Structure 1
């Protein structure tokens, strides 16, 4: 027997399969990145010193040059300034409403400066002029809180992770379809080609050049390219296309203009924003969490659609595609990220390879809608859902969605006893939350009734225990 391997038995990956495998690996990295960013956003309140009070900022700014006044005096100047400015603003508003526009300050600082100067003269022992106090006040009102700076940074990071994922999807298409590279509009000289050791190296460099040229543009242009080349537009991967475009415009403002709105933003944003030279975009925790949901659902849908376009003839690609859909949808559901569950399900309709995968996505979508108070809008769809040929798990899902607890409990006992549903799944499946509550209440009532009737010695002893001890398993 020869020691040489039989080359005829070696399964070689096609360019499509290899490209899809790399895309899947990059998607895993994308998911890890956005999940880490989300964790930071969720736990920002636990970080020490993340939000410094403005009074402390003012005190710190004054202390750099004022050593004569005590901290109590500086704090008193700040507190009285805040009160008097608020009072002055109310009086000015009343005058404006009455049509009295004489001697109206030209701006916020024009109103603050005389009040601050009066307080300094009245309370301060420092000989420094009013200019230093004005600077301290400007630093106070212009300084972002650390929390605001954190959320701005997290927005930039989330947008960057999505940008990398889009670039990888484009790279996957070009690697999978060599003709897409060969039809490149860019012309190369003989000297350009001669730099490479072989055509494969030249092709890879051409792909990277093409990806870079696309990704230099804005997010709308990325999806114009993907729509033209493989039929996937931003509306195919997200129901929040306008919001994603606006999020990237905010990212650009943060990176290139300190967050201050400019003409580029105003000309491209889908939002209606009034022109104001001092207007800065606001990035808070809720906004960052929303953007992460939009981008994670969109990134997932994009990868699934690329798999759907390129891997239709490959069985392993179909398994990965369906596995990705069910796993991500369920993980989002467990995290109670219902908007992302709904958006993902809406954007990947028709992409599931197996019938059960399509049903899982539909059920998860219904669960998310129910959890957001929209059960009545889908009740008829659930009631008319024909599960006669479906597995018992889907029959259970239908009854649980409609809160038909007695029917659901009966099916649940069968699934648990036949090990078609694990105890851990019974305890954690979001679909069964109401059923778990129903079973618990039912068992507690039964235990209470036993106690009331006297019961045996063992039962009477247990009636005084914690309620968890009298709640058995529904499989018993």
Structure 2
């Protein structure tokens, strides 16, 4: 007879207001990136625009005579040729050829002329603007960079509120009369911090790098591609202030870190592809996690660092399960590299599992296999050993271990269904069988029935040890 288990959950509240402010800022930023991803998924992000004319045009065409329709089609053909030439010239940053940049049409009646005029104006406006996919991606990039600026401001506010001794400058001194006008010391403090944060945000990414550097947090170490990170912010400025076209400031800003930018002509359009936007989301997510936790580790040195690392691991698990594998790879790799052997065994294993899973999901199979096969798993229990079998593709052994872990209550079917680690096993009959819950019928000890996977998620043990959430 199977022993019954009672699921339980507990959450510890953070009492350190500084730590809470940092962690909240990270969570808010990650939440905004997640919302942007959902918006992109729901929107039309196909670069191929529909060819169908606008509704008003299609409706009016039904009421035209055959002669009128022929006139309209001739005009549409001439307009199409002109716009094709104009778009090519724009794409190549070349002047228009006057012989190809105009056409004439003569409508036989006022009705046809009015319809054509309105249609040509509609299409002219549509073709001069970015297509819907490009427009949405540009907007989402601008929002993401702006949200990161808000995040940086929140971190700066938290640091200055917690450590007012870091406030320096002429505007940090006030006369007694000024203090009386503010009404309280707290109001003075809020004003000074607000000014300092505004000054920081008015600077560029190099100013942020310098500011965080004074706190022993290297902003350039929070990304695997610092030049690319800098370029994101420069491209955002170009999108906002120069209609997405490279200008001299863009080239001058990046020439030192990206030599290839020097070859970009002023006026060249800088598009935002789906891949570019996804890379931006991943880089910003990784940077937010690493900068925030880096601040806590550097400014709270007496606090046990394990709790900060565990908090970071749990957020990284969420990023992994949502498919942000590039961010996961940067976070896990950075913490493993910079910890220099100071991680406890459990945290190190979790970070390596996240790194290996990300490598596999990103297609770096040889690197992942080499690392997993070369790592010492001796002395580890089944919960960690089965990870090696899953990653190396030993499905038979992995499923056998998973079955044992389910029986012991060390693993849940929720984890099997949702975690990135197990995705390659989905669809395998042996794994699918493990996702089916066996439940005893009332009044019986041995009879059982299959319940569809997912139907009893809440009844399963909640003490899975692959994650240790702390809110």
TM-score range normalised by the length of the shorter chain: 0.7 to 0.9
1:299 corresponds to: 288
Q: 1:51 to 1:418 in 2, by over 3 A?
A: same
Unpaired runs of at least 5, structure 2: 1-13, 62-66, 435-451, 454-471
**1:134: Cα distance to partner?**
9.2
- In 1, Cα distance between equivalents of 2:291 and 2:148: 10
- In 1, Cα distance between equivalents of 2:294 and 2:314: 16
1:224 aligns with 2:214: no
**1:149: Cα distance to partner?**
2.1
CA contact (8 A) 2:357 2:421 kept: yes
1:235 aligns with 2:225: no
- In 2, Cα distance between equivalents of 1:79 and 1:136: 15
Deviations 1:13-67 (A, max 9, x none): 99xx3222112122222122111111111221289xx95659659979xx9xxxx
Deviations 1:213-249 (A, max 9, x none): 111011222112111x212222221113222222222
2:10 corresponds to: none
- In 1, Cα distance between equivalents of 2:119 and 2:397: 73
1:285 corresponds to: 274
SS, match of residue 101 in structure 2: helix
Listed as ranges, the matches of 1:44-63 within 5 Å are 44-45=43-44, 53=51, 56=54
Moved over 6 A (4+): 57-60, 84-90, 122-128, 130-137, 441-444
CA contact (8 A) 1:58 1:136 kept: no
1:178 aligns with 2:167: no
Q: 1:216 to 1:84 in 2, by over 3 A?
A: closer
Listed as ranges, the matches of 1:406-421 within 5 Å are 406-421=396-411
**1:347: Cα distance to partner?**
2.6
SS, match of residue 113 in structure 1: coil
2:18 corresponds to: 19
CA contact (8 A) 1:253 1:260 kept: yes
- In 2, Cα distance between equivalents of 1:127 and 1:401: 67
Deviations 1:315-353 (A, max 9, x none): 5x753x234322222222222222121112123334686
1:143 corresponds to: 129
2:232 corresponds to: 247
1:163 aligns with 2:149: yes
2:75 corresponds to: 77
**1:201: Cα distance to partner?**
3.1
CA contact (8 A) 1:41 1:288 kept: no
Listed as ranges, the matches of 1:333-348 within 5 Å are 333-348=320-335
SS, match of residue 389 in structure 1: coil
- In 2, Cα distance between equivalents of 1:89 and 1:341: 40
Q: Would you tell me which structure has more helix in proportion to its own residues?
A: 1
Deviations 1:259-279 (A, max 9, x none): 232221121133526454543
1:363 aligns with 2:353: yes
> Which has the greater radius of gyration?
1
2:446 corresponds to: none
Q: 1:323 to 1:59 in 2, by over 3 A?
A: farther
**1:298: Cα distance to partner?**
1.1
**1:184: Cα distance to partner?**
3.9
- In 2, Cα distance between equivalents of 1:442 and 1:302: 40
TM-score between the two structures when normalised by the length of structure 1: 0.72
**1:295: Cα distance to partner?**
0.8
**1:361: Cα distance to partner?**
1.5
TM-score between the two structures when normalised by the length of structure 2: 0.73
1:110 aligns with 2:98: yes
Deviations 1:141-170 (A, max 9, x none): 312223322222211111111111111222
Q: 1:148 to 1:204 in 2, by over 3 A?
A: same
CA contact (8 A) 1:23 1:169 kept: yes
- In 2, Cα distance between equivalents of 1:148 and 1:28: 28
- In 1, Cα distance between equivalents of 2:45 and 2:361: 28
1:95 corresponds to: none
Q: 1:324 to 1:59 in 2, by over 3 A?
A: farther
CA contact (8 A) 2:45 2:134 kept: no
SS, match of residue 244 in structure 2: coil
1:425 corresponds to: 415
Aligned residues: 401
CA contact (8 A) 1:260 1:278 kept: yes
1:215 aligns with 2:214: no
Q: 1:276 to 1:141 in 2, by over 3 A?
A: farther
1:392 corresponds to: 382
Listed as ranges, the matches of 1:125-140 within 5 Å are 139-140=125-126
- In 2, Cα distance between equivalents of 1:302 and 1:377: 27
> Whose relative contact order is higher, 1 or 2, with alpha carbons under 8 Å and at least 6 apart?
2
